[in-house]
Amino acid sequence: MTTKSFINLVLVTFSLLGVTNFSQVNAQDHTAENKNIKISNEPIVMQRADPFVYKHTDGYYYFTGSVPTYDAIEIRRAKTIEGLQDAEPFTVWKKHESGPMSRHIWAPEIHYLDGKWYVYFAASEEDDIWKLRPYVLELKGQDPLKDEWVELGMMQAADDDPKSFTDFSLDGTVFEHNGKRYFIWAEKTGGQFAASNLYLAEMESPIKLKTVQFMLTTPDYDWERIDFWVNEGAAVIKNKGKIYITYSASSTGPAYSMGMLEADANADLLDRNSWKKSRYPVLKTNEEKGIYGPGHNSFTVDKDGDPLMIYHARDYEKAVGDPKMVPESDKRPLEAIKADPLYDPNRHARMMEVKFDKNGRPIFEFY
């Protein structure tokens, strides 16, 4: 059986079990001898940071990401990844005017779990803009673009976990492994300017954790501590008996880069000793290529079942905040807004073929 056929069989099997999730990619036995798909560094969707692409059993690619104004959740779909740029974006949910979910609508992800559609995203409050927490939407139907999305509220910690989601929390993602479903998210303990760590827990349901939080990684190295100490934006890919978690580090300007964790596929994922962390970034700014601050990626597959990485990056080094992206309630001086890279709208979604070295470890290279 070819590698492609095996991948397709795995995905079909997941579909029949009702646990399809193409956002975690099982690359199986890919090696350095993969075909070289001709993909450029050019954007596939403009002005969409934190891009997330999910390929469903209906043959469509579903795309979402942070809109530059951070005030709504959009979803678009196309039969090909290339078609996402011109696909009509549907606004499926808008922020509240006040209270929870009224500010900073960040990093939505769309997942299909147990026969239902879910969106995971982070949001804060108009009166407390850094009170970020993870929230969940559920679709009442099977058409993510046209059916009604309902709010399930904030992601819930396990009954015996007093710490999860009690502070600045964002970038939640879901993956399945060895018959268990897991949730990874970033959380700061100590407010906005504390270190952002990545945490992992097993899930009891699409909205609740089963186990207490386990800290996967904290910013240990200098490249993870530029301007802010950050580990965030996790994504999962598997290959050759290993599970890999990519993540992003440092501030959202040119210092933004990607690191990686790995564990044996049969290891206890909630045991710190199971994980090995990359000493250096696996992807970072490349001035020669004109790509700045690559990160916050997701994984999907091409039409042949080969793995692709979707990530965001800017075309230039110095980010400048755009006052048109800022809500009216933001009364900061103009110069402060221009100095805020979060309100520079030009983090574009891009695509990269995932290659593997002779040991099956993912390699991420610009073109």
Q: How do residues 288-316 score in pLDDT, each as one tens digit?
A: 999 999 999 999 999 999 999 999 999 99
| Residue 181 placed within a domain | yes
The string of pLDDT tens digits covering residues 56-72 is: 999 999 999 999 999 99
Instruction: Say whether pLDDT at 100 is over 70.
Output: yes
**What would the 3-class secondary structure string for 36-81 be?**
CCCCCCCEEECCCEEEEEEECCCCCEEEEEECCCCCEEEEEEECCC
Instruction: Say whether pLDDT at 18 is over 60.
Output: no
**pLDDT at residue 193, rounded to an integer:** 78
Instruction: Say whether pLDDT at 196 is over 50.
Output: yes
**pLDDT at residue 33, rounded to an integer:** 45
| Residue 189 placed within a domain | yes
**pLDDT at residue 37, rounded to an integer:** 41
| Residue 3 placed within a domain | no
Instruction: Say whether pLDDT at 47 is over 60.
Output: yes
Question: Is 232 one of the catalytic residues?
Answer: yes
Q: Which residue has the higher pLDDT, 6 or 171?
A: 171
Helix, strand or coil, per DSSP, at residue 255: coil
Neighbours of 32 (CB within 10 A): 12
| Residue 1 placed within a domain | no
**pLDDT at residue 244, rounded to an integer:** 99
Q: Looking at residue 153, which CATH number applies to its domain? A: 2.115.10.20
Confidence tier at 29 by pLDDT (50, 70, 90): low
Instruction: Say whether pLDDT at 6 is over 80.
Output: no
The string of pLDDT tens digits covering residues 241-253 is: 999 999 999 999 9
Active-site position among 109, 171, 176, 232? 232
**pLDDT at residue 365, rounded to an integer:** 97
Domain that holds residue 296: 22-363
Mean pLDDT confidence for 177-185: 98
**pLDDT at residue 28, rounded to an integer:** 57
Question: Is 50 one of the catalytic residues?
Answer: yes
| Residue 10 placed within a domain | no
- Rounded to 5, what percent of the chain is helix, strand, coil? 10, 45, 45
Confidence tier at 25 by pLDDT (50, 70, 90): confident
Chain-centroid distance of CA 214 in Å reads 19
**pLDDT at residue 19, rounded to an integer:** 38
Helix, strand or coil, per DSSP, at residue 35: coil
CB-side neighbour CA atoms (13 Å) of 90 = 14
Tally of domains in the chain: 1
Active-site position among 50, 74, 125, 344? 50
**pLDDT at residue 202, rounded to an integer:** 99
| Residue 8 placed within a domain | no
| Residue 336 placed within a domain | yes
Q: What is the mean pLDDT of the chain?
A: 92
Mean pLDDT confidence for 232-247: 98
**pLDDT at residue 351, rounded to an integer:** 98
Q: Is 191 left (phi over 0), alpha (psi -120 to 50) or beta?
A: left
**pLDDT at residue 16, rounded to an integer:** 33
Instruction: Say whether pLDDT at 17 is over 50.
Output: no
The string of pLDDT tens digits covering residues 336-348 is: 999 999 999 999 9
Chain-centroid distance of CA 43 in Å reads 17
Confidence tier at 144 by pLDDT (50, 70, 90): very high
Sign for the pseudo-dihedral over CA of 57, 258, 295, 114:
positive
| Residue 227 placed within a domain | yes
Percent of the chain with pLDDT over 70: 90
Q: Which residue has the higher pLDDT, 3 or 29?
A: 29
Q: How far is CA 272 from CA 133, 215, 291, 333, in A?
A: 25, 8, 34, 45
